[in-house]
Structure 1
Amino acid sequence: MNKNSNKFTMIFASVMVVVVAVLLASAAIQLGPLQQQNARIEKMQNILTSIGIDSDVKQAEKLFNQYIQEQIVLNVQGEQVKNDVNAFDIDLKKEQDKLKTGRANEQLFPLFIFKKEENLYYIIPVRGKGLWGPIWGYLALEGDMNTVFGASFGHKSETPGLGAEISTAEFQEQFNGKTIFDESGNFTSVRVIKGGAPPGDTHGVDAISGGTITSNGVSEMLSRTLENYIPFFKSQNISGSDTAVSIGQSTN
């Protein structure tokens, strides 16, 4: 066949397209399990960060299994679900999408429990929307299920130096010691306030300068997600604790 002919060129191009497609598909299949494992490790690291435990890729799984004493799955009534669903494997996006398809009552909410000495901490996964894409994180509450023990946040594509600052320790550490209920037990969440939280505000943190939309996204994410856990908080009868507030209704 004449290598300079149009026919040869078309056949050669078609063969190359097939070869490249096969190679890419093969690479994707081989890399799939590795990518999934990397995502699991990163998730473990983020959960550990919310309770103040630093970890690297090699130590993350060991530390996660050491410190996370229990993983439970809740339904919309705040009841623990006893089935084959693993809290760690719950996809928050898929659960949130159930709202769009009239399946809100089928939502499942993961909860991770960390025990340090005799103290329990409850780690809640959160997911929302920033300026350019999804944002997510973990909020750890103390045993009173009211006081924030720690937080970690991540993002897919927020602007460096602006919205991307939600993933920095400086932003995240502001949440420590904040509370999600007021003194009357009404749900307030923790708000990210443009211009800065007033001195002594136990429910607010400073927004990111120049990152208003992302900051608002964090506020919305926390309020919407944490509200899903109120039935569970109330079911634990924490009002009997000396340090807990008597949980009432959401103010939203």
Structure 2
Amino acid sequence: MNTNSNGYTLVYATIMVVVVALLLAFVSSGLKETQNANVKLDKKKQILSSLDVNTEGQDADALYDQYIKKGIVVNSKGEILSETKEEAFDINVKKELSKKLEERHIPLYIAEVDGKTKYIIPLRGTGLWGPIWGYLALDDDKNTVFGTYFSHEAETPGLGANITDAPFQKQFIGKHILNDKDEFVSIAVMKAGKIATNREQVDAISGGTITSKGVEDMLSNCIGQYEEFLQHTTIGGTN
């Protein structure tokens, strides 16, 4: 073949384009798998953080399997739709929240800490500049807060971004989401000096009023989806 001909050049260029495209597709596929694995691992760490489980330098996958005994999917009526841990884990909470309440399939994680059952609720809401999210763990009475984890995409450093800090999050421990009449009322996030009516409260972040309000709304909206389950549904053991 005449290597100086236009035909040879065209064939060579075509082959190189195909080879490069295949290599890029292979690399992209490998990177996507790694990225997906990292996203799942980070999610497990966040869930464990709501139980105050330290994953730093630890095998988070193993810790997740150790503490998270079951994952279930429920609807707003409190009906259990699935008891498959993997199915619950893979649910896109953001997508479900965009649906009408009666159409949602929402995940719940059931953990065991020191022999006691904990119920972990995924949270997602809106702060001042973008999405906020987290997890809230309840004791086996389905009322008392055992722990929380909050994070954000773009809140202001030193202000709204402080929802990730321990002093803010630890305020929720021991608070109750039901009132004395066993009615769901959630937890208020109030400015200093302000008193909530008929529900327990924590202090808002100084200078982070809108983000704090976003956390309050997130708790009310997300926990509220599980009201029927928390008050009326019982399930089997966590094994």
Q: Using the alignment, how far apart are the partners of 2:63 and 2:234 within structure 1?
A: 30
Q: Is the 8 A contact 2:185 2:199 kept in 1?
A: no
| 2:139 aligned to which of 139, 142, 149 | 142
Change in CA separation of 1:117 and 1:82 when aligned onto 2, cut-off 3 Å: same
Q: Is the 8 A contact 2:72 2:83 kept in 1?
A: no
Change in CA separation of 1:110 and 1:26 when aligned onto 2, cut-off 3 Å: same
Change in CA separation of 1:57 and 1:92 when aligned onto 2, cut-off 3 Å: farther
How far does residue 60 in structure 1 lie from its aligned partner after superposition? Answer: 0.7
How far does residue 203 in structure 1 lie from its aligned partner after superposition? Answer: 1.5
Instruction: State whether structure 2 residue 32 is matched by structure 1 residue 35.
Output: no
1:120-152 Cα offsets, whole Å, 9 max, x none, are 110000100011111000000001111000000
Q: Is the 8 A contact 2:142 2:231 kept in 1?
A: no
Change in CA separation of 1:184 and 1:48 when aligned onto 2, cut-off 3 Å: same
Q: Which runs of 5+ in 1 are unaligned?
A: 1-17, 239-252
The alignment of Structure 1 onto Structure 2 pairs a total of residues equal to 214
Residue pairs, 1:44-83, within 5 angstroms: 44-56=44-56, 58-82=58-82
2:34 partner SS:
helix
Q: Which runs of 5+ in 2 are unaligned?
A: 1-16
1:135-189 Cα offsets, whole Å, 9 max, x none, are 0000000011110000000111111111111111111111100000111112110
Between 127-136 and 75-84, the greater mean CA deviation after superposition? 75-84
Q: TM-score, normalised to structure 2's length?
A: 0.81
Counterpart residue number, 1:173: 170
Counterpart residue number, 2:99: 98
Instruction: State whether structure 2 residue 186 is matched by structure 1 residue 189.
Output: yes
| 2:157 aligned to which of 157, 160, 166 | 160
Between 108-117 and 170-179, the greater mean CA deviation after superposition? 108-117
Change in CA separation of 1:159 and 1:25 when aligned onto 2, cut-off 3 Å: farther
How far does residue 57 in structure 1 lie from its aligned partner after superposition? Answer: 6.2
Identity of aligned residues (%): 46
Counterpart residue number, 1:245: none
Q: Using the alignment, how far apart are the partners of 1:107 and 1:40 within structure 2?
A: 22
Q: Is the 8 A contact 2:70 2:83 kept in 1?
A: no
Q: Is the 8 A contact 1:138 1:151 kept in 2?
A: yes
Moved over 3 A (4+): 21-30, 82-85, 196-199
How far does residue 192 in structure 1 lie from its aligned partner after superposition? Answer: 1.0
Instruction: State whether structure 2 residue 128 is matched by structure 1 residue 131.
Output: yes
How far does residue 237 in structure 1 lie from its aligned partner after superposition? Answer: 6.6
Q: TM-score, normalised to structure 1's length?
A: 0.77
1:39 partner SS:
helix
